[in-house]
Amino acid sequence: MRVLAADWVVPVEGPPIRDGAVAISDGRIAAVATAAELGEGERFPDSVILPGFVNAHSHLEYAVYAGFGDGLPFGPWLMLHVERKRQLGIEEMEAIARLGALECLRSGITTVGDASFTGAAATACAELGLRAVIYLEVFGADGTGLETWFEPNRARVEEAFSTRVRLGVSPHAPYSCSLDLYRACGELGLPVATHLAESEAETEWLRTGSGPWRAFSDLLVEPPGTTGIRALAEAGLLGSHVIAAHCVQADAEEIALLAAMDVAVAHCPRSNALLGCGVAPLAALREAGVRVCIATDSPASTPSFDMFEEMRAAIAGARARERRPDALTAAEALELATLGGARALGLEHETGSIAPGKQADITVLSLADSPFLPWEDPVTATVLGGSPDRVLATLVSGETRFRRGGETWLELIDAARSARSRLLSHAAQTS
């Protein structure tokens, strides 16, 4: 029996426990109580023990893409990344994905829902111990996209899938996948991830076939004449097995459709803001009963896999949009980044909170030398004062997968940076 103890335990499902402790046995949480009841075990002073973050929308294979195309409109930015990633081989993609998995663990993330272009994220998560649903991406105008994209990548990374690393499918978006391809993906019986209602230009193209995206029309599918959410809903292609990233442009009717069909939504506020897409209607989504979570997207559009910054961005965005300081509280943001993500991925019975019987997916965060000590509220201190640099340890199924001051991972980091150098070299040659 392993026992972790700290100034506070924040279970998420239940009130914080002062001088709390968590007992772990066979990879699962055996008990949650005070340290006096369970024993000190491994003591972390000036710290809080919380559930590992569940990052339900990521792209680990873009971990070294930070800053590429910054300031470009959404369409040209997207095409830049499509062009650049074509320059990499599978070994380089795997090197980048390993760094992405490591950065998640360093940030206190224990589970990802990853949209994977090549499947490299599956092997990376399996090797580094990250829990994951890997949604293999598909693209195209008909059902043959499964043969072209899904089947080859699934076969190549088949050995990576297990009870911890699970398989899903990701028809990329309604502008890059036809309804026939969405239907074929749904018929696989797998979890589905997609991108919906991210930008105004995308919505204009889908509705009218006009606007700035006409310049990329040869790379897009025929517009359905309505929004992506409406088109998928009318075709009966939405349901509880679907998680949709972004939904920035969703209107009241579309929000009602998402709620009625129990579609989960991954809210990525930093990505949406930095790409100039806007601020998603988080309050309206939550009020409608949509299963919302907070997720980071990738460093291609967001600087990092930092869930602390993402929570703070979600709070700032929600309060600014609604003009109310209670539009999203610190406690609500923490729940969306942990249990909310687990619910979005259908893993709420396994992870997302600290409760007996669940997997021991745990983050230990130090607030030493921060403005938040002495403690007033550990949840507010965690959300407003936390950062990856303050993460002391990250456990998945009770195993320490990251420890501050432990393994340096220099070889892994060098391999990923070499891949970034290759991308930059190609960009210099073509500029």
Place of tokens 């919302």: 292
Percent of the chain with pLDDT over 90: 84
pLDDT average, residue stretch 377-405: 97
For the stretch 340-355, pLDDT in tens is: 999 999 999 999 999 9
> What is the phi/psi pair of residue 408, to 5°?
-90, -20
CA 300 to mean position of chain CA atoms: 13
Mean pLDDT of 203-210: 94
CA-to-CA distance for 358 and 356, rounded, in angstroms?
Answer: 6
Average pLDDT over residues 402-431: 83
Question: Per-residue pLDDT for 202 more than 80?
Answer: yes
Domain spanning 53-345: CATH superfamily: Metal-dependent hydrolases (3.20.20.140)
- The dihedral sign for the CA sequence 55, 146, 291, 29: negative
Facing residues of 115 across strands? 135
For residue 429, the surrounding DSSP H or E stretch is helix 410-430
How far is the C-alpha of 382 from the C-alpha of 47, rounded, in Å? 9
Residue 134 has what DSSP assignment?
E
C-alpha distance from residue 357 to each of 104, 353, 409 (Å): 24, 11, 32
pLDDT in tens, 209-261: 998 888 888 888 999 999 999 999 999 999 999 999 999 999 999 999 999 99
pLDDT number for residue 426: 60
For range 121-150, the mean pLDDT: 93
Rounded to an integer, the average pLDDT of 121-125 is 97
Give the span between the Cα atoms of 377 and 263, in whole angstroms: 33
How far is the C-alpha of 336 from the C-alpha of 318, rounded, in Å?
13
pLDDT, tens only, 281-293: 999 999 999 999 9
Ramachandran class of 294: left when φ > 0, alpha when ψ lies in -120 to 50, beta otherwise: beta
Q: For residue 334, what pLDDT band results from cuts at 50, 70 and 90?
A: very high
Dihedral angle over CA of 374, 377, 383, 384, nearest 10: -50
Distance CA 52, CA 32 (A): 15
Q: Indicate whether 81 pLDDT > 80.
A: no
The CA-atom distances, in angstroms, between 247 and each of 173, 224, 228, 345, 397 are 12, 18, 10, 17, 32
Question: Which of these ranges, 65-69, 92-96, 285-289, 417-421, has the smallest mean pLDDT?
Answer: 65-69
pLDDT digits (tens, 9 = 90+) for 406-416: 888 999 999 99
pLDDT at 427: 58
Tokens of 334: 């923490």
Instruction: Tell the CATH topology of 2-51+362-396.
Output: Urease, subunit C; domain 1 (2.30.40)
pLDDT band with cut points at 50, 70 and 90 for residue 39 = confident
Residue 85 pLDDT exceeds 80:
no
Residue 429 has pLDDT above 70, yes or no: no
Question: What's the mean pLDDT in 108-134?
Answer: 97
60 burial level (CB within 10 Å; 0-12, 13-18, 19+)? buried
pLDDT confidence bin for 428, thresholds 50/70/90: low
pLDDT higher than threshold 60 for residue 431: no
**CA neighbor of 88 nearest in space, from 431, 428, 429, 424:** 424
User: DSSP assignment of 264-318, as one string?
Assistant: EEEE-HHHHHHTT-----HHHHHHTT--EEE--B-TTTSS---HHHHHHHHHHHH
Quote the CA–CA distance of 24 and 30 in Å, as a whole number: 5
State mean pLDDT over 63-70.
Answer: 87
Domain span(s) for CATH 2.30.40.10 in the chain:
2-51+362-396
Tell me the average pLDDT across 49-73.
93
Residue ranges matching CATH 3.20.20.140 in the chain: 53-345
